[in-house]
């Protein structure tokens, strides 16, 4: 086995590859390699700076550590979506290609059978297979979802290079058989909007839950009522000789002043349903 060397890892995987027949799979593989080649060429990374591994429905590239990672990321964010649009707009549904991608960095060695060995590469493969990245692609209209490793985000993405907006990447934690892995997803995080919507429904002091609005605050008692509050749908009269409560809604009548416990005039009292008391 060779000594471990520092490399950038580019992984690309075709969505729903196993659902296609042999003819369709062969076509999709050709398209995958064309996309990978054109993307790396546009980033200025020629064949002397990379080593490819074929994984059937996906491709992995070991890229020399001296190759510009910023150029690679810009190409992935612009070239790949453009290529996918051009291919898919004229393709039948069974021939359309959608891709998940991971860019990571770390140490890797090549064994005597030309196999690649390294825990950093293993983690990159776990990110590519993560359910969260699959869900992200399923929700994307542009046929492409990109995730970068935590170390690559810290070393490159967070510095907000031209064409690589740091605020477009969001921290995520994915479960794997190696344990939780931290990564950074480009674009919306699946379920994040639902979570925010649920959070907006959490009751706050003095507020409603959204489903059951909070009751309106009680009006202060009218002057001279002795502090008695009106019940819902009713009125309270406070007389000098006591505090009788008269329920129901006031619906009509010639209403005259209330003075000294005497009510004069025609006052019709009714229930809130419109009937007479």
- pLDDT, mean of residues 34-39: 96
pLDDT by residue (tens digit) across 4-24? 999 999 999 999 998 889 999
Of residues 173 and 198, the one with the higher pLDDT is: 173
Which residues are 258's β-sheet partners?
Answer: 263
With a cut of 90, say whether residue 63 has pLDDT above it.
yes
* Closest to 169 in 3D by CA, of 232, 103, 116: 103
Distances (CA, A) of 46 to 79, 117, 201, 260: 16, 23, 53, 101
Per-residue pLDDT tens for 71-93? 999 999 999 999 999 999 988 88
Mean pLDDT to the nearest integer, 27-51: 95
What does the CA dihedral 60, 6, 124, 96 come to, rounded to 10 degrees? -30
Instruction: Return the H-helix or E-strand segment holding 8.
Output: strand 5-14
- Residue 244: partners with Cβ closer than 8 Å, 6 or more residues away: 237
- Contact yes or no for 9/62 (Cβ under 8 A): yes
d(CA 127, CA 62): 16
DSSP-assigned letter for residue 93: G
> Residue 269 has what pLDDT?
47
- Averaged pLDDT for residues 201-229: 41
Torsion of Cα atoms, 231 then 237 then 243 then 244, to 10°: -80
DSSP states of 34-50 as a string? HHHHHHHHHTT--GGGE
Say what the pLDDT of residue 193 is.
57
Query: pLDDT at position 93, please?
Result: 86
pTM of the predicted structure, to 2 decimals: 0.68
- C-alpha distance across the termini of the chain, in Å: 97
Q: Where in the chain is the domain with CATH 3.30.70.1230?
A: 5-194
Is residue 198 within 8 Å of residue 213, measured between CB atoms? no
**Residue 223 pLDDT class (50, 70, 90 cuts):** low
HSE-CB for 258 with a 13 A CA cutoff: 10
pLDDT at 155: 95
pLDDT at 34 over 50: yes
Q: What's the number of CA atoms in the CB half-sphere (13 Å) around residue 224?
A: 9
Residue 188 has a pLDDT of 94
What's the DSSP call for residue 201?
Answer: T
Mean pLDDT of 230-245: 46
pLDDT at position 265 = 53
Q: 159-181: per-residue pLDDT in tens?
A: 999 999 999 999 999 988 878 99
pLDDT for res 266: 53
Q: Which CATH architecture has domain 5-194?
A: 2-Layer Sandwich (3.30)
**What phi-psi label fits residue 28: left (phi over 0), alpha (psi between -120 and 50 degrees) or beta?**
alpha
Within the chain, residue ranges assigned H as helices are 22-42, 69-88, 119-128, 131-139, 150-155, 192-200
């Amino acid at each position: 086995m060779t000594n471990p060397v520092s490399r950038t890892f580019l992984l690309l995987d075709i969505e729903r590859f196993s659902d296609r027949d042999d003819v369709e799979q062969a076509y999709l593989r050709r398209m995958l390699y064309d996309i990978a080649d054109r993307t790396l060429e546009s980033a200025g990374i020629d064949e002397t700076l990379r080593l490819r591994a074929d994984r059937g429905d996906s491709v992995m590239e070991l890229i020399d550590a001296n190759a510009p990672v910023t150029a690679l990321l810009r190409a992935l964010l612009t070239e790949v979506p453009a290529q996918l649009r051009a291919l898919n707009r004229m393709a039948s549904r069974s021939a359309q290609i959608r891709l998940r991608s991971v860019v990571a960095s770390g140490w890797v060695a090549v064994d005597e059978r030309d196999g690649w060995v390294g825990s950093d590469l293993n983690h990159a493969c776990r990110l590519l297979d993560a359910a969260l990245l699959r869900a992200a692609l399923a929700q994307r209209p542009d046929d492409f979802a990109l995730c970068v490793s935590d170390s690559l985000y810290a070393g490159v993405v967070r510095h907000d290079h031209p064409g690589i907006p740091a605020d477009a990447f969001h921290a995520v934690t994915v479960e794997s058989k190696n344990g939780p892995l931290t990564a950074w997803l480009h674009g919306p995080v699946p379920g994040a909007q639902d979570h925010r919507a649920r959070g907006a429904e959490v009751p706050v002091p003095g507020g409603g839950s959204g489903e059951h609005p909070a009751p309106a605050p009680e009006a202060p008692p009218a002057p001279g009522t002795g502090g008695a509050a009106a019940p819902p749908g009713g009125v309270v009269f406070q007389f000098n000789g006591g505090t009788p409560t008269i329920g129901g809604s006031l619906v009509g009548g010639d209403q005259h002043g209330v003075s000294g416990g005497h009510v004069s005039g025609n006052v019709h009292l009714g229930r809130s349903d419109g009937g007479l008391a």
